[in-house]
């Protein structure tokens, strides 16, 4: 038994540590990573002090923070506080910030592919998923300053009034990601929410915690203001319902299959009439996810009447 363990350790050293001349040192101990949650621009552990174990198939122990309901409430406060200034930013500015996320991710492609592989994807699937993830941010970066133009209207009402309708953000969006391994579906839900001025709280999939945290790390260094995008790692059975019930959350996006939990969640959104958006597994594809109507799902239409006569 001892020998197997030793072999594993040796193997890992080969994978993780390299000497300056590009050849792995056999005596180097790898530096492991602490996977923290991302709330209000900071990487934090759960206030509850709890963790859950995640395995990448090796013997390495990976402790993931297990968010509590209090963590969720704190994240809502952060998201709500960030919303006012985020939605007031120019659309061009939001567009550049989304594009910057793509730039950052491009530089971290190898790292993310590696992490997705550790979460169980094949090299090929991981690469496709990360490239889609990057392109998703580029796609929505482009929409940030265009969707209002495309979907707004000047309405030819009777009488001497100038009447127009346009979209604006609906507020704080909670995202429950059960799309499985990979980041591209999650990326679309985040990008479609924040490109239109919303702030969001992601509850990452239990299958996907490491890559999700690394996505948050990329977001953190991409000029996204604190609180605009928050990410929790949690048990869905513990937090999904809480998100649906929270009175200061305006919308809930859920990507996943139909099950008892999703129905329970849907019942709870009537607490404050949340907007509910749902992506079923057959929609985890580029046609459904790269689509300006995904932005409109978490927008409100405002109509203003203005007299013309004096």
Partner 1 sequence: MASKTIAKNKRVLDFSGGWTYAPAPESADHFTIKEKYDLFINGTFVKPSAGKYFKTINPASEKVISEVAEASEPDVNKAVESAEKSYQKYWSKLSGAERGKYLYRIARIIQERARELAVTESMNGGKPIRESRDVDVPLSAAHFFYYAGWADKLNYAFPGAEVKPYGVAGQIIPWNFPLLMAAWKIAPALACGNTVVLKPAETTPLTALKLAEIIQEADLPPGTVNIITGAGKTGAALVNHHKVSKVAFTGSTDVGKMIQNALAGTQKKYTLELGGKAANIIFEDASIDQAVEGIVNGIFFNQGHVCCAGSRLFVQESIMNTVMRKLKDRIETLVVGDPLDKNTDIGAINSKDQLNKIQRLVKKGIDEGGECHQSSCKIPSKGFWFKPTLFTNVGQSDTIVQEEIFGPVLAIQSFRTAEEAIEKANNTPYGLSGGVWTDKGSKIFKVTSSIRAGVLWANTFNKFDPSSPFGGYKESGIGREGGMHGLSAYLKQV
Residues at the interface with partner 1 (CB under 8 A):
150, 153, 155-159, 161, 163, 165, 168, 170, 250, 258, 262-264, 266-267, 269-273, 275, 291-293, 300-307
41 half-sphere exposure, CB direction, 13 A CA radius: 11
CB of 195 to partner 1, least distance (A): 17
CB of 268 to partner 1, least distance (A): 8
Cβ distance to partner 1 smaller for residue 50 or 278: 278
CB of 167 to partner 1, least distance (A): 9
Cβ distance to partner 1 smaller for residue 7 or 160: 160
CA distance 82 to 40: 8
CB of 163 to partner 1, least distance (A): 5
Cβ distance to partner 1 smaller for residue 1 or 308: 308
Cβ distance to partner 1 smaller for residue 26 or 152: 152
Cβ distance to partner 1 smaller for residue 101 or 173: 173
CB of 168 to partner 1, least distance (A): 8
CA distance 112 to 104: 11
309 half-sphere exposure, CB direction, 13 A CA radius: 3
The answer to whether 104 and 215 have CB atoms below 8 angstroms apart is no
The answer to whether 157 and 163 have CB atoms below 8 angstroms apart is yes
CB of 276 to partner 1, least distance (A): 8
Cβ distance to partner 1 smaller for residue 105 or 170: 170
CB of 97 to partner 1, least distance (A): 21
Cβ distance to partner 1 smaller for residue 43 or 161: 161
Cβ distance to partner 1 smaller for residue 130 or 240: 240
CB of 266 to partner 1, least distance (A): 4
CA distance 112 to 177: 18
């Amino acid at each position: 038994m001892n020998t197997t363990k030793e072999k594993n350790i040796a193997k890992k050293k080969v994978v993780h540590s390299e000497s300056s001349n590009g050849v792995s040192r056999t005596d180097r101990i790898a530096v492991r990573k602490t996977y923290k949650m991302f709330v209000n621009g900071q990487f934090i552990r759960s206030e509850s002090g709890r963790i859950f174990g995640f395995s990448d198939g090796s013997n390495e122990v990976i402790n993931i923070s297990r968010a509590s309901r209090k963590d969720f409430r704190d994240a809502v406060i952060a998201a709500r506080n960030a919303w006012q200034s985020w939605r007031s930013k120019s659309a061009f500015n939001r567009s550049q910030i989304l594009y910057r996320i793509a730039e950052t991710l491009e530089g971290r492609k190898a790292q993310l592919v590696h992490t997705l592989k550790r979460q169980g994807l094949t090299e090929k699937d991981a690469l496709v998923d990360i490239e889609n993830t990057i392109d998703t941010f580029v796609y929505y970066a482009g929409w940030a300053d265009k969707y209002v133009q495309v979907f707004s209207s000047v309405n030819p009402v009777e009488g001497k009034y100038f009447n127009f309708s346009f979209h604006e953000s609906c507020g704080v969006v909670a995202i429950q990601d059960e799309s499985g391994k990979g980041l591209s579906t999650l990326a679309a839900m985040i990008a479609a929410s924040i490109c239109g001025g919303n702030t969001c709280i992601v509850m990452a999939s239990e299958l996907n915690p490491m890559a999700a945290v690394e996505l948050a790390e990329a977001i953190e260094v991409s000029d996204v203001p604190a609180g605009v995008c928050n990410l929790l790692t949690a048990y869905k059975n513990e937090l999904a319902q809480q998100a649906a019930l929270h009175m200061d959350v305006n919308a809930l996006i859920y990507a996943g299959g139909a099950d008892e939990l999703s129905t329970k969640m849907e019942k709870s959104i009537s607490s404050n009439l949340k907007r509910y958006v749902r992506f079923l597994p057959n929609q985890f594809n580029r046609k459904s996810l790269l689509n300006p109507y995904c932005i409109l799902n978490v927008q409100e239409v405002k109509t203003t009447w203005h007299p013309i006569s004096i």
